[in-house]
Amino acid sequence: MRAVVLKEFGGPLVLTEVETPAPGPGQVLVRVAASGVNPLDIKIRAGKAAHARHNPPAVLGLDLAGVVAEIGPGVTGLDPGDEVYGLTGGVGDLQGSLAEYAAVDARLLARKPESLSLREAAALPLAAITAWEGLVDRARVSAGQRVLVHGGAGGVGRIAIQFARARGAEVFATGSPRSLDAIARLGATPIDHTSAVVGDYVGEYTGGEGFDVVLDTIGGVNLDLSFGAVRTYTGHVVSVLGWGTHSLAPLSFRGASYSGVFALLPMLTGQGREHHGEILRETAALADEGALQPVVDPRRFTLATVADAHAAVESGVSTGKIVVDVE
């Protein structure tokens, strides 16, 4: 099969022929149709993601959508010909999705939403799992709550806005001036982070009480700002990039709580993989109900132009998720 191989950190991505994998126990062989590109893929390629180790030579690519080609021993619930999607590889010792085929743990997969193309489905897994673990598993977002999403125009932010709205919450999201219209189209109240002061928008949108849930997708100083924006006692801050050193005093003085999300953990440890499949089944149901729509950049990339796809992500200039067409 054809695959894009990283031979050394920081080196070029080489399109080459490699052996097609065979599905082992509990695995299915997926004919990959599309691979979503995440900022994390860029960090892994550069050797700057120790938390997402994937030593070269390696096939990168975290997200995939495709068609089941073969079933391994012990797999039930999936059949050849099923269209599936998942966060399945590109870290640890798991082959990534920038290849024509991938043998993946069936627990990490779900049938793709019927209402979406394979290309659209490939834009969802990492972002959807991260947003779901933060908002649903950790913060238990519910109807009537006020939710603040920091980074509402990013990959996780876009999905998080839609998840929170689907659960009946009123959503607010920060972004740059050029992203405010996109945030508004997703149904959130946009907040310009370049001009707004935390105390001002907490006062304007919550009467000074603070948001019930704050989802931080940016990290750094933004997480510190989140501690000052959450509701006293019952508020919950969740971060997907809480890797720095932070003072918990502002959060403690509010009596609020904090959770971190590390969506790659089941892939790296083998524990909890079933839950990834469960989340993707819930995500598919929301998409088919019309409550969730991925935002995909219209530019087309192939295995031969993966380097251009990575450059597009690195530029930070896109109108949605970058997806590589593998087929």
pLDDT in tens, 127-150: 999 999 999 999 999 999 999 999
Provide the CATH number for the domain around residue 61.
3.90.180.10
Its pTM stands at 0.96
Q: How many domains does the chain have?
A: 2
Task: Give the residue among 4, 128, 36 at the shortest CA–CA distance from 323.
Answer: 36
**What per-residue confidence (pLDDT) applies to 53?**
77
CA atoms of 164 and 238, how far apart (whole Å): 13
Residue 196 in this model has a pLDDT that exceeds 90: no
Last residue of a domain, one of 230, 260, 290: 260
Instruction: Report if residue 268 sits inside a domain.
Output: no
Summary mean pLDDT of the chain: 95
pLDDT-based confidence at 111, cuts 50/70/90?
very high
Residue 244 in this model has a pLDDT that exceeds 90: no
Taking residues 46-52, report their average pLDDT: 85
Task: Give the residue among 21, 55, 61 at the shortest CA–CA distance from 303.
Answer: 61
Give the phi and the psi of residue 114 in degrees, each rounded to 5: -65, -30
Residue 50 in this model has a pLDDT that exceeds 90: no
Handedness of CA 257, 153, 110, 271 (dihedral sign): negative
Q: Which tokens hold the place of 217?
A: 């997708």
pLDDT-based confidence at 319, cuts 50/70/90?
confident
Handedness of CA 58, 324, 33, 164 (dihedral sign): positive
Taking residues 38-53, report their average pLDDT: 89
Tell me: do 177 and 56 sit in the same domain.
no
Tell me: do 113 and 168 sit in the same domain.
no
Tell me: do 88 and 203 sit in the same domain.
no
Length of the chain: 327
**What per-residue confidence (pLDDT) applies to 54?**
80
Last residue of a domain, one of 235, 260, 285: 260
Tell me: do 102 and 48 sit in the same domain.
yes
Provide the CATH number for the domain around residue 158.
3.40.50.720
Residue 178 DSSP symbol: G
SS3 of 135-170: the string is HHHHCCCCCCCEEEEECCCCHHHHHHHHHHHHCCCE
**What per-residue confidence (pLDDT) applies to 38?**
95
What tens digit of pLDDT does each residue of 143-182 get? 999 999 999 999 999 999 999 999 999 999 999 999 999 9
What tens digit of pLDDT does each residue of 263-288 get? 999 999 999 999 999 999 999 999 99
Provide the residue range defining the domain that includes 245.
Answer: 127-260
Residue 310 in this model has a pLDDT that exceeds 80: yes
Instruction: Report if residue 49 sits inside a domain.
Output: yes
Tell me: do 184 and 246 sit in the same domain.
yes
SS3 of 266-295: the string is HHHHCCCHHHHHHHHHHHHHHHHCCCCCCC
